[in-house]
Amino acid sequence: MRALGVPGLAWGPSWMEGIPMKKLSLGLLGAAMLWGGPESAERLSIPRLEGRPKIDGMLDEPVWSKAFVATRFFQTRPGENLSPSRKTEVRLFHNGSSIYLGVRCWDPRPQEIWRKRYGRDSDPGGGEAFSVLIDPSGSAQKALAIGITPMGDVSDGLYDLSTGHFSKSFDFEFKGMSRIDGDGYTVELEIPFDSLPIPLKNGSQTWYLYLERTVPRQDFELISNVPINRESVDPKDSYAPADLED
């Protein structure tokens, strides 16, 4: 069975439309097959840094140079665990009250980046975007899902792994901005801790994150920080562990 993409987000693959969510109950991202080795996801180490960047999509504040940089990504569609056609880099840090993501999506043909506009939580399907799922509980049960297009349009919701239900009735407080430039596009996200619908632990903790980029060009390409594993039965293999410094 194939199951790729973030279920319910506005720009999920169009072939997912109409799939009952109960069929997707074994994996975070609609994963009837789960993710994890034989290739392995990069363990993320998210530092605590002082500063609050302006969310304008520029990634030009000095604090970004001190952030953790995730560079290990896989093509998970149409190929499985291949080298992606485009380089992706995600910078992460937190300041004790919010987690920040700074994304650089390189593209050799930036003129072809989709510039379609969507309303919040609209459902056109098959669009170009960067998406993140965050499980701060470390239980692999519920996750906040956020998607943002190169034009800055956003979609969000809550995914419940225990029931397989994805709800877009939750509108979380977060900030996001994208910019298209000569190298591709960039994304900045600020997600306040107090907006997360999942209780947080005290002190240093391990979250679970899934990062995904969709490139709907000649072939619909999915680029993910977590590789495919058709043999795993552990829901936690749907994520990459992320250690947050206290």
For residues 115 and 150, the answer to whether their CB atoms sit within 8 Å is yes
Tokens encoding 36: 């994890």
Half-sphere exposure of residue 202, counting CA atoms within 13 Å on the CB side?
0
Quote the pTM value: 0.85
pLDDT in tens, 148-198: 999 999 999 988 877 777 788 777 899 999 999 999 999 999 999 988 877
Residues 6+ apart with CB under 8 A from 62: 51
Q: What is the mean pLDDT of the chain?
A: 82
As a whole number of angstroms, the distance between CA 10 and CA 121 comes to 5
Residue with tokens 């169009």: 14
| pLDDT: which is higher, 218 or 149 | 149
Q: Cβ atoms within 10 A of the Cβ of 136, count?
A: 24
